[in-house]
Structure 1
Amino acid sequence: MDRRRISAIAHQDHPIASPLGDDTVRRLLGRAITSGDERVLDLGCAEAAWLVHALNDHPGIHAEGVDIDAETIAQARESAAKAGLSDRLNLHAVDAKEFTSPHRFDVVLNVGSTHAFDGMLLTLEAARTHLAPGGRVLLGECFWEREPNQVTLDAGFTIDEYDDLATTVDRITAAGWTPLYGHVSTMQEWDDYEWSWTGSVSRWALDNPDDPDHQDALEAAGKHRHTWLHGYRGVLGFVTLLLRSTF
């Protein structure tokens, strides 16, 4: 089943594609957006859920989003138009590594999309090139709560893929960033995200038995649910950090 299609289905009930609740998202954005007239950039925006939250809660800001998937960006533009946000939201279907802008941004987001830059520290290097003086970065990344078991590793994770929380933060500070705030996703946030992911895909498959992707969707939901419940539940953590450059 096409990865983009399954992701779109999986996030129907949980548009924020990370284990974060709506109240947490608003709190994090409220910490990042301080004056209310900032320029905000999301590098790896998918359907622009973070930017929609920001624009709705902060009517004076302007936002731009970047995602490599042109179809996803087209859907995000359509949703923004329906919500009356098009005049303050500019979306780009381009590889985030190649994105350039004449503007500098007061807030740069990358939450759960560090793979777009091949890792956390490379993501921060890229974000720095887009920041206005005094700008902030909102970064979301996984870490190991404890050492992964074999089910987790068999699903494609590697032990050295992530560090523990303390080491993750140490690496960020050593790279020249100062944390201003942070949120570690709760078990409730993780469970809500994973039940939404697997439930949305399962429901779609059961409602569309004649679709060619029906069986693939059921199998994907089942595999994901097994890996989560038997593998990384309580093992994989997620931290979202508000950062400023130290120098």
Structure 2
Amino acid sequence: MMERQEIGRIAHRDHPVAAPLSDESVHRLLERQLRRCPEGRVLDLGCGEGTWLVRALASYPGLRAVGVDTNAAALEAGRQTAERAGVARRIGLHHLDVREFTSAERFDAVLSVGATYAFGGLSQTLDAVRPLLAPGGTLLLGESYWDGQLTDRSREFFGDELTDLPGTVAAVRAAGWWPVAGHTSTRDELDAYEWAWTGSLADWALDRPPGPDRDQALEAADRHRDEWLNEYREGFGFVTLLLRYEG
């Protein structure tokens, strides 16, 4: 039986990052955040395979990076990617629950894109990042939101915590954070992400001989595609905000 983390890792293998953002959007957001601290320290909470961090280090030779995730296989893949990119000596990847991560040094840039669930929600993520951020530092936060009418099944699938885009920004402001830049994922980005998720998983499975892993992967791809197309495609959005804290 394949674990959920392994299914997710396979499903993301053909997409730039584990979030509905194009390659160009990832580049633009990193550039906007890291131009403030080209020789600073950057932290990714929920880093997966460290894709954001490896790209950041490749673009900024003076950066040092730390990534935290509970997926050991993803972290090992990230270490190998960092080696191939020639940045392994400037990155530390930690197999740890993000809620347990502490550091004696603060970070000039923190990322948490599509990982607020690991903290228990948006407000908990914002609270956890604040003591890790150096004065004048920034948080690149990626969060889902509702955009339009939703079915009862969609609300059951995603939970009641999500709100619409104005509500998401209002929650950020209420916690003392200022949006200084942002990107709302386009329909093309959202669709490309879902096609990649389901397609990569199916592609992986179809290259395997008959067996439980193959069947489980194909079932997961079918189930996810059905939920996306029939339940939440018209009502799901994703925003990535660059934030500074006032306090």
How far residue 224 of structure 1 moved from its aligned partner, in angstroms, is: 0.5
TM-score (norm: length of structure 2): 0.95
How many residues are aligned here?
Answer: 245
Q: Which runs of 5+ in 1 are unaligned?
A: none
2:61 aligned residue: 59
Q: Please tell me the residue identity of whatever aligns with 2:199.
A: G
Contact 1:187 1:234 in 2 (8 A): no
Aligned pair 1:208/2:208, yes or no? Answer: yes
How far residue 15 of structure 1 moved from its aligned partner, in angstroms, is: 4.2
Q: Please tell me the residue identity of whatever aligns with 1:105.
A: F
Aligned-partner Cα distance in 2 for 1:212–1:166: 44
**CA offset digits 1:106-154 (Å, max 9, x no partner):** 0010000001110111101111111011110000000000131144245
**CA offset digits 1:192-219 (Å, max 9, x no partner):** 1110010001111111133421111111
Q: Which runs of 5+ in 2 are unaligned?
A: none
- 1:148-159 alignment, distance < 5 Å: 148-153=150-155, 156-158=157-159
1:16 aligned residue: 17
**CA offset digits 1:78-113 (Å, max 9, x no partner):** 221122111111111111111112211000100000
Q: Please tell me the residue identity of whatever aligns with 2:234.
A: G
**CA offset digits 1:26-66 (Å, max 9, x no partner):** 11111111241121000110100111111112222111100
After the TM superposition, which of the residue ranges 66-75 and 9-18 deviates more from structure 2?
Answer: 66-75
1:47 aligned residue: 49
Contact 2:16 2:23 in 1 (8 A): no
1:122 aligned residue: 124
Contact 1:151 1:227 in 2 (8 A): no
Q: Please tell me the residue identity of whatever aligns with 1:62.
A: R
Q: Which runs of 4+ in 1 moved over 4 A?
A: none
TM-score (norm: length of structure 1): 0.95
Structure 2 residue corresponding to 1:77, chosen from 68, 76, 79: 79
Aligned-partner Cα distance in 2 for 1:18–1:241: 13
Aligned-partner Cα distance in 2 for 1:133–1:35: 12
Aligned-partner Cα distance in 2 for 1:135–1:11: 29
Give me the identity figure in percent: 51
Contact 1:111 1:138 in 2 (8 A): yes
Aligned-partner Cα distance in 2 for 1:157–1:35: 35
- 1:74-113 alignment, distance < 5 Å: 74-113=76-115
Q: Please tell me the residue identity of whatever aligns with 1:19.
A: P
How far residue 157 of structure 1 moved from its aligned partner, in angstroms, is: 2.2
